């Protein structure tokens, strides 16, 4: 099964990278100008009154699900997009959207079919970037990570996160909001009629990059925020656990847009006006990235943040000053002990999120008594790191759902 999933994974990567290159080449937004987003589909509009409990389903609808643009596989018998209640950083109830996938393969393990809360990596800031929309277009790259899970017979629940697909600015990199959205989409999947899932379904958490941060945050928050979920373990990769160190790495590089996404998203979450801190070009860039997807990242490649700030200082210095210092510090992951086994993966060659950041987070969890297995790899750069993580996730979840203990390796850290 693992060999089959890995072979399909390589094939899907090639197809996805080909499409990604084509989309990046064409672009979608006029450089230097903010544009009004097209109206959202009615499905994504929240009602005036939300249901009473986090994870409650507001509405759902069947969706066309293309794991790849050619629809070469047919793994899912029940694909639905959902609108559900969750809670933002401040404790306010909000609506978020997501995707629930139940595969054709029967569950042949012990007990009921598990569900994986799969937190997606960076999609962008615009509503059109939401995975629950991109899956129907066959260009959602997270299909790479979920194919093996579906082949094994696991259900998958994936959030779009706050403000991605729904009203408001996507609060990119907001630790609490992303963790809540990930836990609540699992609750929504368990409460969705016709899936065969229930509150008795065992749960796994998984994510890479932004998704690694969301899944790691969910792992930290699960015991207090969602004690009803039977979480058996989490697999997190390339976790941006320390945003100040990540921002320094991103500045002026290929992935500069990610730092701009974070600045825009966190300022929205904390209701902070960025105008005094940016020059005219910086304000235009901030407006522009709110309308962009990850496929547009080349529009901002190699742009140094010092060219966008009001005083000519780089973003790393801005983050060292209040109010940004406290905001960035509040996003640190590694401060709360997960109550279940966690597998942490990270490439030593990661060019986006420094390897030392992931290792430091794992060491911090270990110091708090968590059951952690840290697995470094030599995958090429940040993008390549998702491949070994996906391969390691399958036996990890197999063992956790079978009730087998994880042998941690904190002593190596």
pLDDT at 276 over 60: yes
Global pTM value? 0.90
What's the pLDDT at 26? 31
pLDDT at 19 over 50: no
CA pseudo-torsion sign 85, 234, 133, 178: positive
Average confidence (pLDDT) over 243-267: 93
How far, CA to CA in Å, does 393 sit from each of 138, 149, 239, 272, 310? 23, 9, 15, 38, 45
CA separation for the pair 188, 166 (Å, rounded): 16
Which one has a higher pLDDT value, 6 or 392?
Answer: 392
Q: If you search the block for the tokens 């002990």, which residue do you land on?
A: 337
What's the pLDDT at 72? 57
What's the pLDDT at 108? 85
What pLDDT, in 10s, does the model give residues 119-152? Answer: 999 999 999 999 999 988 888 899 888 989 999 9
What pLDDT, in 10s, does the model give residues 311-323? Answer: 999 888 888 899 9
Structure tokens at 388: 């070994």
Average confidence (pLDDT) over 365-394: 97
Domains parsed from the chain with CATH numbers: 34-242+335-412 (3.40.50.1820)
Q: Which residues pair with 59 in a beta bridge?
A: 83
How far, CA to CA in Å, does 303 sit from each of 22, 241, 244? 22, 23, 18
CA separation for the pair 159, 197 (Å, rounded): 17
What's the pLDDT at 69? 66
Mean pLDDT of the chain: 89
């Amino acid at each position: 099964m693992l060999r089959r999933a890995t072979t399909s994974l390589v094939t899907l990567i090639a197809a996805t990278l080909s499409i990604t290159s084509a989309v990046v080449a064409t672009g979608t937004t006029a450089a230097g100008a903010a544009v009004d987003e097209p109206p959202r589909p009615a499905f994504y509009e929240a009602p005036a009154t939300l249901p009473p409990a986090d994870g409650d389903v507001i509405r759902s609808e069947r969706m066309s699900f293309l794991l790849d643009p050619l629809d070469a596989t047919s793994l899912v018998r029940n694909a639905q997009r959902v609108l559900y209640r969750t809670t933002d950083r401040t404790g306010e109830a909000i609506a978020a959207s997501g995707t629930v996938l139940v595969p054709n393969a029967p569950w042949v393990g012990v007990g009921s079919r598990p569900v994986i809360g799969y937190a997606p990596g960076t999609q962008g800031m615009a509503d059109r970037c939401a995975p629950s929309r991109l899956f129907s277009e066959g260009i959602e790259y997270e299909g790479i990570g979920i194919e093996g899970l579906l082949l094994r017979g696991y259900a998958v629940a994936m959030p779009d996160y706050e403000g991605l697909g729904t009203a408001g600015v996507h609060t990119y990199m907001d630790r609490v909001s992303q963790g809540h959205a990930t836990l609540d989409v699992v609750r929504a999947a368990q409460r969705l009629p016709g899936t065969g899932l229930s509150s008795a379904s065992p749960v796994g958490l998984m994510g890479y990059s932004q998704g690694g941060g969301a899944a790691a945050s969910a792992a930290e928050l699960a015991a207090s925020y969602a004690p009803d979920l039977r979480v058996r373990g989490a697999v997190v990769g390339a976790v941006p656990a320390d945003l100040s160190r990540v921002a320094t790495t991103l500045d002026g590089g290929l992935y500069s847009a990610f730092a701009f996404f974070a600045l825009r998203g966190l300022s929205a979450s904390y209701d902070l006006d960025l105008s005094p801190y940016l020059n005219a070009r910086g304000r235009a860039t901030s407006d522009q990235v709110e309308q962009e997807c990850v496929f547009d990242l080349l529009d901002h490649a190699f742009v140094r943040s010092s060219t966008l700030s009001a005083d000519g200082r780089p973003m790393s210095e801005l983050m060292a000053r209040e109010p940004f210092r406290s905001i960035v510090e509040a996003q640190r992951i590694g401060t709360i002990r997960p109550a279940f086994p966690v597998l942490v993966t990270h490439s030593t060659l990661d060019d986006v999120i420094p390897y030392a950041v992931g290792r430091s987070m794992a060491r911090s969890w270990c110091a708090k008594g968590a059951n952690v297995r840290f697995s470094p790899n030599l995958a090429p750069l940040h993008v390549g790191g998702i491949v070994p993580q996906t391969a390691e996730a399958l036996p990890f979840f197999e063992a956790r759902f079978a009730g087998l203990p994880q042998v941690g390796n904190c002593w190596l850290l």
